[in-house]
Structure 1
Amino acid sequence: MSSDYYETLGVSRDATPEQIKKAYRQLAMKLHPDVAAEPDAADRFKKVAEAYEVLQDPKKRDLYDRGGDPLGGGMGGFNGAQGFGGGQAGFDFGNLVDAMFGQQRTRGPRSRVDRGQDALVRLSLELAEAAFGTSKALQVETAVLCPRCSGSGANEGSQPVTCRTCHGQGDVTHVQRSFIGDIRTTQPCPTCRGYGTVIPDPCVECAGDGRVRSNRSITVKVPAGVSTGNRIHLSSYGEVGPGGGPAGDLYVDVTVQPHEAFRREGDDLETVVRIPMTAAALGTEVAVPTLEADLEDSDPADRAVQVRVPAGTQSGTRVALDGHGVPRLRAGGRGQLGVTLLVQTPTRLDDEQRELLRQLAALREETDSEGTVQRHGKGVFGRLRDAFAGQ
C-alpha cells in the first residue's frame, strides 16, 4: 500500500471528489506510458491509478483515512504485487477514459422504463382568437402506451428473463493484454443492450418497446393576448417513454394569421378608415368596427366604436382609442386601437358637381394655387405610408 495516496495525487486530505478526479486526470494524461518518455512513467502511472482507485471510492477512502488497508493487503484491483501484469483483475481502462474526459459512467443494468421525449406541434390562430383566448382541439401523433402489453413489452404470459451473456449485469468486460499488463474495457452488453434482461416473447403490437404510435385529440386552452412565436407548455402531453415510462411535455407553437382590417403592433391594433373629402372638411362622426366584431358571441354594443372627425381633418390623421386593442398577456388592461383617417378625393364627377367645386375654388381663391411643400414630422409621413401599405 502506498504511504500516502493524497501525496501521490498531489491533493489535500480534505479534497473533494471533483478535485481528486481532476488531479488524477492531469497525472494520467501526463504519465500514461503511451505518451510519457520517462523510464519510470509506468511505475508512477501505477501508483497514481492505485491512489485514484482508493480515493474515488467513498468506502475505500474512509477505510484508508482510518488507517485500514482498502486493498485487502495486496494491490486490490491491480492484482497484488503483479500490478498491471498477469492475474484476472487487471486495470479498468474505462476509469482512465472517464477521468481524462470527465465522463460519468453508470455501471450495471439500465431500466427499460424511461421518460419520453418532448413533442412540438404548431397551431394557427385568427387574430380574434389570439387576442381574446380560445380553446382548440388538436390532432397530435405521438407515442402512447401499448394497449396490448400496457408497457411491459412482453406478450401475455411472458416476461423478461436474465440475459445469459452478461448474467444480468447489463455490461460486459473485455480483457486485452498490453505491455503494461491486462487492460479491461467495459461496454453495454450487445445481447440485451444494457438492460440485463431480454424479452423472449416480445409483444406483437409494440415489438417489445412498450409503446405504439397513435393519433390522439387534445384540447389546448389558448390564453388571451398570445402572439406569433409564443409557446404553450402542456406538461406530460408529449411522447410516452420506452417501457411505458412517463410522458414528455408538449409544446404548442403559436402563429397568428394576418387580419384583413387590423394590423397588430404589440398590444395595439391599427386600422385605416376612408372618409369623403366633404366629411373631412365639414367634420363628422364615423362608426369603426372593433375586433369584437369577429366574435359571434360578443355584445353588439362592443362591435363598433364611434370616432369623431373634426372639421378640417387632414389625410393621415391618427386617432388613438384606449382600451380597444389586444388584451395584455397575463396582465390587466388592453392596448390602443389606432384609427388612421384617409381623406378620399372624388375621381368621378358629373357636370353639376364639377361646377360646384369650381365655385368653391373661386370662393377660396384656389383656382390658380400651386402646391407648397410643408415640413412635418416623420410620424405624419410614416402613418400615411403605413396606411397606404395596408390598403
Structure 2
Amino acid sequence: MSKRDYYVVLGVSKGSTAEEIKKAYRKLAIKFHPDKNPDDKSAEDKFKEAAEAYEILSNPEKKQRYDHYGHAGVGGASGGGGGYGGGGMNMEDIFSQFGDIFGGGGGSPFDSFFGGGGGQQSRGGGRRVAKGTNLRIKVKLTLEEIANGVEKKIKVNKQVSCKTCDGSGAKDRNSVSTCQTCGGSGAVRRVTNTILGQMQTTSTCPTCNGSGSQITSKCTSCHGEGITRGEETITINIPAGVSDGMQLSMSGKGNAAPQGGIPGDLIILIEEIPHESLKREGNNVVYDLHVSIIDAALGYSAEVPTIDGKAKIKIEPGTQSGKLLRLKGKGIPEINSYHRGDEIIHVNIWTPKALTSEERNMLEKLRESPNFKPQPGKNDKSFFEKMKEYFD
C-alpha cells in the first residue's frame, strides 16, 4: 500500500510554517497516542504515520528533498508495509521527538499532564534510559468519600528497585564498564551511499540497548535486571468530586525500570460504591421520600439522609406526590472547584395496601368530601420535566 502525502497526513500545506507543522503534529500525537488508545491498532498506525510525516517536514533539509522528489527523496519506499519515518522509525524513535514537541526530554506527551517528566533519550548524546511500565489499580469509594475527598493507603504488588544493587543490576561498582560498541554514547552511526550522496543514520546501540554501559558481573539477587517483585504502600490523595470510571495518574509510582531507569506511572481507576438511599445524578444527589397520605395532607417535619448526615425538612400541608424539594449545597462538589451540587428530594405519596374495618369506614366517609376529590392543575408538570428543570 502506497504511503499518503505527508502534508495530507498532518493536514497542512507546503506553505505552512514550522510552528504550524509542529502544532498539527502535536494535536495528532495526543489524539492517537498509545496511552490514550490501548490495544487500538488503527490508532497506533495513525500515530506512527503522523510521527513519520513530522520527522520529515520538521527538518528543513529533508523537507526540501521531499518537496522535490517525494517519498523517494527521503529514503522511504512508496509501497510495502514496514517502516515509518524515512524507512524505519520505531516507537522509541518517535518518543524521542517529544522533547521538542512537548517541552520535555522525550517519553509520553501525557507526562506533562500529570507532573511527569524525563524521557527515554537525551537529545544530545543519544543515550537511552529505560522506562518502567505503567501500573493500573482500581479504588472503590463511597459517596461520602467522593463528596469530601479522601486519602487512601494502598498496598501495591509491583516491580521495585533491587535493594541489593540499588537498581543498577551490577554486582558492584567495578562491574560496570563503558560500552565498547558505542563508546558510551548509547548510539551507533552508519553512513550509506545513495543516489543523493552519502546519508548518515543513527540508531540505538544493539550491545547496550542505548544505556552506554555494560555490566560485566551481574547482581545475584536480580540477575542483572535491577528490579525484583515487591510490595509498596502508596498514599493516594483523591480529590473531592471524582466520578465512576475516572482515571487518575501518579507519576513515577508504577513499575520500576530495569537498571535504574525511570519508573512508570500508577493509573488509578475510580469505582463508585452505590449508596443505600441516595442516587447520584451528576453533581446532584436524589433521595426518594415516601410520605403517607395523611402526612402529605396535614404536613409534618421529615428527617432525610444526606451525604453529611441527617437533615430535617418541612413537608407543607397538601403536598402532592412528585413534588421536588431542594437542599442547596448538599450534593457533590465539582472537581477542583468550590461549586457544589444539591440534594433533590422526590416526594412519593405512600398508599397503604391493607386496612382494618375501622380505617376503611373512616376513609369511606372521607371519599365523598370535596377536599378528597382529585383536582389536577392545568399547568402540572411531569416528574421528568421537574427533574430536568432542577438539573438544568
| TM-score (norm. length: structure 2) | 0.62
Q: 1:356 to 1:122 in 2, by over 3 A?
A: same
- The Cα shift of 1:364 comes to 3.7
- 2:171 paired residue number: 155
- The Cα shift of 1:267 comes to 2.0
Contact 2:252–2:265 under 8 Å retained in 1: yes
Contact 1:108–1:171 under 8 Å retained in 2: no
SS at match of 2:61: helix
Contact 2:149–2:240 under 8 Å retained in 1: yes
Match of 2:269 among 218, 231, 253: 253
- 1:328 paired residue number: 334
* Bigger mean CA offset, 109-118 vs 277-286: 109-118
- The Cα shift of 1:138 comes to 1.2
Alignment of 1:10-25 (within 5 A): 18-25=59-66
SS at match of 2:328: strand
- 2:348 paired residue number: 342
- 2:38 paired residue number: none
Q: How many residues align?
A: 295
Contact 1:174–1:184 under 8 Å retained in 2: yes
Contact 1:318–1:340 under 8 Å retained in 2: yes
Larger relative contact order (Cα-Cα within 8 Å, sequence gap ≥ 6): 1
Alignment of 1:96-111 (within 5 A): 97=87, 111=127
1:209 aligns with 2:225: yes
1:309 aligns with 2:325: no
Alignment of 1:167-246 (within 5 A): 170=186, 188-246=204-262
Q: 1:123 to 1:155 in 2, by over 3 A?
A: same
- The Cα shift of 1:239 comes to 3.0
Work out the percentage of aligned pairs sharing the same amino acid. Answer: 32
SS at match of 1:349: coil
| TM-score (norm. length: structure 1) | 0.62
- 2:280 paired residue number: 264
Query: CA–CA distance in 1 between the matches of 2:191 and 2:337?
Result: 65
Contact 1:113–1:242 under 8 Å retained in 2: no
- The one-letter code sitting in structure 2 at the alignment partner of 1:22 is K
SS at match of 1:326: coil
Greater Cα radius of gyration, structure 1 or 2: 1
Contact 2:134–2:265 under 8 Å retained in 1: yes
Q: 1:251 to 1:187 in 2, by over 3 A?
A: closer
**RMSD over aligned Cα, in angstroms?**
4.1
1:116 aligns with 2:119: no
Alignment gaps of 5+ in structure 2: 1-56, 77-84, 98-120, 388-392
Query: CA–CA distance in 2 between the matches of 1:150 and 1:271?
Result: 55
1:91-130 per-residue CA deviation (whole Å, 9 max, x = no partner) reads xxxx97589xx98899998546444344332211011111
SS at match of 1:325: coil
Query: CA–CA distance in 2 between the matches of 1:202 and 1:164?
Result: 18
Query: CA–CA distance in 2 between the matches of 1:187 and 1:365?
Result: 90
* Bigger mean CA offset, 348-357 vs 224-233: 224-233
Query: CA–CA distance in 2 between the matches of 1:305 and 1:183?
Result: 77
Contact 1:28–1:96 under 8 Å retained in 2: no
- 1:273 paired residue number: 289
Contact 2:284–2:344 under 8 Å retained in 1: yes
- The one-letter code sitting in structure 2 at the alignment partner of 1:21 is K
